[in-house]
Amino acid sequence: MEEGSFDSVVDGCQGVFHTASPAFHSANDPQSEIIDPAVKGTLNVLRSCAKVASMKRVIVTSSMASVLYKRKPLDSDVVVDETWFSDPAICEELKLWYQLSKTLAEEAAWKFAEEGGIDLVTMHPGFVIGPLIQPTPVSSIEAFIKLMNGTQAFPSGIYRFVDVRDVVDAHIQAFEAPAASGRYCLVGDIKHHSEVFKIVHKLYPSLHLPEKWEDGKTLVPLEKISQDKAKSLGISFIPFEVSLRDTIESLKENGILTV
């Protein structure tokens, strides 16, 4: 939040990956706890980058949160791509503070980059799963554990998954590939939570899954999310079943999930 605090960090760098943003969905004061750190934090990183003559490119980790939330309904006829932008008014109306923070931060980043001549690329991962990078779960893995335990599910029951290894590869390619530019949606597969449980049950028959996961409700039709641009970076998305198994194996190894 402090302007200039990144100056010494980025000095002499050719590239910067700005991956951090408050990743929680409720707060007593959303403006100061979620929105300001996302927007002002991003601008402070970019201001520091603008001072560095050797800087070639800045990669900002945004989210599908800044892509999907608009008035257009999502159904099986829809193909979401990089031309989609979330509507801040809708996010505010629905009190989607995290989505609002990511939308406003990306908006501010593009405006600053265009005015300041920074070569900016933004990455938009969905719900990130895969092997843990550190021994404690990050927010998306915590949400995944809650899904497995039956303590929480997305209100829509729809998960737009991507493997952390694909997210990492895409970030590296976005910096290293000279032709990389603009925004990149990163979603490997879209599943309803009942489909996720079916696959988990097949892979781990002994895993105690929440009761009533196989409800008889009609599944909401799922939109498609374009992978064309991500594939132009050389990303071939890890199959969902592989990603799911590797996530559960990693949670087992770290003593977080018992199978």
List active site positions: 102
Contact indicator for 105, 62 with CB cutoff of 8 Å:
yes
Helix (H, G, I), strand (E, B) or coil at 133: coil
At 165, the amino acid letter reads: R
Closest Cα to residue 34, out of 87, 99, 90, 93?
99
Contact indicator for 76, 122 with CB cutoff of 8 Å:
no
Query: Helices (H), strands (E): how many in the chain?
Result: 10, 9
E strands within the chain? 15-18, 57-61, 79-80, 120-125, 127-129, 158-163, 182-186, 189-192, 224-225
Pairing type for strands 120-125 and 15-18 reads: unpaired
Tell me how far apart the alpha carbons of residues 257 and 201 are, in angstroms, rounded to a whole number: 15
Residue 200's Cβ-side half-sphere holds a number of Cα atoms within 13 Å equal to: 24
